[in-house]
Chains A and B, each alone.
Chain A
Amino acid sequence: MSAVLVEDRVVTPTPSRSPRLRSIVSALGALPTFVLLLGAAYCLFPVAWVLIAATKSSGELFSTSTLSLGSSLLANLGELNGYRDGVFWRWMANSALYAGVGALLSAVLSGVTGYALAKYAFRGRALIFNALIAGVLVPAVVLAIPQYLLMSKIGLTDTYLSVLLPSVVSPYGIYLARIYAAASVPEDVVEAARTDGASELRILTSIALPMMVPGLVTVFLFQFVSIWNNFMLPYIMLANDGMFPVTLGLYTMLKQGNTTPALYTLVVTGSLVSVLPLIALFLTLQRYWRIDLLSGAVKA
């Protein structure tokens, strides 16, 4: 508490301050910006590296300077396209399927569950919610092997479903949807609809879910990115390389054993291509987030 007060005193400029003190204050003000810029550079440099390295031929990759552009981006793409009869595109399509369908179903499931947990009082609600929060704390990696053993009991390993089903249930998504439903769907509106004779299903689909869209978009995006980048679950579940997502496919290209050279240029180019859909998705869905922030500001 006292720390906050001290900080307040320093940051709030008062007219009686000397110019020297003011310059110190403004220098302090620039510090967060500087730290953020440093962070941005730290995050963006690897991306730039991938971008540059993808233009290099395998001869250039380890022999030319890190930041100099190579000459064979198109050749690399061509080679990637031709690798094992275009299996890379199949992996991309698989990733799109796992991430797209998985995130969509996950958003729907999270929305419905979150709404139910937020708006209905029933016995065991707190218990379910606490179990969910516990679920948020368990990393998905830990669950991969138990999930594999369960899936193999019902004979579903090595199928598309074995990766899709575990991806659909996201404790974090449900948690987020519950918070969002509680904040964005006013109790009065639900009550009014009930008095007008709307069925519970109607209230959910016509009133509550549309109000929750920005929150659900967030859940969708989070899930999409985490499924797209997921490695452990498909690695354990899938044996048939025709069903691999792109993460796993690139891994098989990298780990070919000591006895054969890793296909570095192809892996680098493949990584570049595989992040493009994520970037596109963020750019197109970004405006929903903006609406979200704006509506929050209006309410406040």
Chain B
Amino acid sequence: MRLDIAKKAVAVGLGLTLLAACGGGTEQAADGPVELSFWAWAPNIDKVVDKWNASHPDTKVVFSKQAQGDDLVTKLLTSAKGGNPPDLAQVEYQALPTLVSNDVLADISEGAASAKDKFAPGIWDQVTLGGSGVYAVPQDSGPMMFYYRADLFEQYGLKVPTTWDQYAQTARDLRAKASDKFLGTFSSNDPGWFAGLVQQAGGSWWSVEGDTWTVSVDDAATKKVAQYWSGLIAEGAVDKTPMYTPEWNKALNDGTQIGWLSAVWAPGVLQGNAESTLGKWAMAPMPQWDASAPRTGNWGGSTTAVTAGSKKQKAATEFAVWLNTDPTAVEALVTESAIYPAAISAQEAQAKPPAFFPNQPDFYTQAAKIAATSSGFTWGPNVNVTYTAYKNAMGEAISGGADLVPALTKMQTATVDDMKANGFTVGG
């Protein structure tokens, strides 16, 4: 073991001593515990890491908080090219194929395959990419749900829509009763949200057979979703302000937006952005295309991955599995970082509703039922390109004239062109 560590220390040199300021800590690594560097963004996740460090004196995880998003993927790719990636990183589901195809992530099936039973099959498929390897351990998931202002629904005599037809009708009714209010908005800024809606409608953007990819960003289900929203936007039944902007926050606060198609983590966002509406919201399942076979999509959610460049993959895998399956760890993730855990047992164990929803005591029981209807989805190796194309094309379509369907063709072309340019085989 000692020799092993010394060898690693020589091999990695200064680059790995992440905490030692200005380097110069190589010899210290020879005697101390194994140090694992961990990049993540979940709030307060450092407190969960502290728990691991307290109970595992031989393996010290050094946490470093990063900014979430596509930029972090770029940073991971760059650091892997430079030869000194972190040992562990928080990675969103849709970024896994990108990182795997760039050889950034390690196959940790040896240490992590046994964790399979702890997760719903749809979630587990996302970390195996449908193959025999395991590239990450699921951390949290984001089954989509419908949130609405219960007080305003009552005031305007609206019923909670259970199908998309009803949703459209409710949106129109609301506009007729209160012309300054909207049931929801179509956000050209949030491709993850749109992808969630597409998953619910049964769309499939990527699939892979051997080495040949099939890309169908403009498939029938996606067109159906785009057409539906084009119609609502054209008749002015829904708003077209992007989400997560100051205007949108204001609209949530003052009741201009009385509904939000979001995911299980919405209570935290509402609490942060619309504090004054405490206790006025309620959650319901998504409106359905086919009421007899309820489904939902996922928006958000992330995993803990081990990098291929890490020299301590075994220890890192142990930590990744611990973080997301150990009962104390998952409980701490839920209470400290306010995530919705991917581990099934932890989903069922949540008894109290979120602090922002004191009026809905069975919030998590309902949420677990909805989560069970999540549809699977295969992400491609260049989701970032598709997402950027979404933002550009949808933004243009909305300011242009609101037919969203042609935007899908642009997304499809951009995705396929980029994959071909990067040497993927794309079949018809």
Contact = CB atoms under 8 A, between A and B. Distances in A.
B72 to A, nearest CB: 8
Interface in A79-97: 84
Interface residues of A, number: 39
A245 to B, nearest CB: 13
Given A152-B15, A239-B39, A243-B21, A261 B273 contact: yes
A161 interface: yes
Interface stretch (A9-17, A116-124, A251-259, A289-297): A251-259
A49 B347 CA distance: 43
A158 B65 contact: no
A56 B275 CA distance: 13
A126 B82 CA distance: 35
Nearest to B15: A155
Contact of A158 (B18, B140, B246): B18
A46 interface: no
B396 interface: no
Contacts of B84: 152, 157-158
Contacts of B142: 259
B163 interface: no
Contacts of B350: none
Interface string A140-181: 000001001101100111111100000000000000000000
Given A258-B190, A260-B43, A261-B268, A156 B273 contact: no
A59 B276 contact: yes
B254 interface: yes
25 contacts: A58-B272, A59-B276, A62-B246, A149-B82, A151-B82, A152-B82, A155-B23, A156-B23, A159-B14, A159-B23, A239-B37, A240-B64, A241-B65, A252-B41, A252-B66, A252-B67, A255-B68, A256-B43, A257-B41, A257-B302, A261-B271, A262-B244, A262-B272, A264-B249, A264-B273
Interface in B247-265: 249-250, 252-254, 263, 265
B79 A239 contact: yes
Interface in A248-287: 248, 251-252, 254-264
Nearest to B253: A63
Contact of B300 (A235, A254, A259): A259
Nearest to A253: B67
B82 A157 contact: yes
A152 B84 CA distance: 7
Contacts of A145: 78
B239 to A, nearest CB: 16
Interface string A43-83: 00000000000000011011100000000000000000000
B75 interface: yes
Contacts of B268: 259-261
A160 B23 CA distance: 9
A264 B142 CA distance: 23
B392 to A, nearest CB: 19
Contacts of B140: 259
Nearest to A236: B78
How large, as a class, is the contact surface on chain B? 35 or more
Contacts of B253: 59, 62-63
Interface of B: 13-15, 18-19, 21-23, 37, 39, 41-43, 46, 62, 64-69, 71, 75, 78-79, 81-84, 86, 140, 142, 190, 192, 244, 246, 249-250, 252-254, 263, 265, 268-269, 271-276, 299-300, 302, 338-339
B337 to A, nearest CB: 8
B263 to A, nearest CB: 7
A84 B49 CA distance: 14
Given A145-B78, A235-B75, A255 B69 contact: yes
A243 B65 CA distance: 11
A255 B21 contact: no
Among the interface residues B68, B244, B246, B276, which one has the most CB atoms of the partner chain A within 10 A?
B68
A260 B265 contact: yes
A217 to B, nearest CB: 29
B339 A259 contact: yes
Contact of B41 (A62, A151, A243, A256): A256
A156 B276 CA distance: 48
A255 B14 contact: no
A63 B276 contact: yes
Contacts of A149: 81-82
Given A258-B265, A258-B269, A258-B300, 4 more contacts: A152-B15, A152-B84, A160-B21, A261-B272
Nearest to A258: B300
Given A161-B22, A255-B41, A260 B299 contact: no
A240 B86 CA distance: 10
B75 A236 contact: yes
B37 A260 contact: no
B66, B254, B265: residue with the most chain A Cβ atoms closer than 10 Å: B66
B67 A258 contact: no
B22 A159 contact: yes
Contacts of B276: 59, 63
A165 to B, nearest CB: 11
A63 B274 CA distance: 8
A271 B71 CA distance: 21
Contacts of B18: 158, 239-240
A257 B300 contact: yes
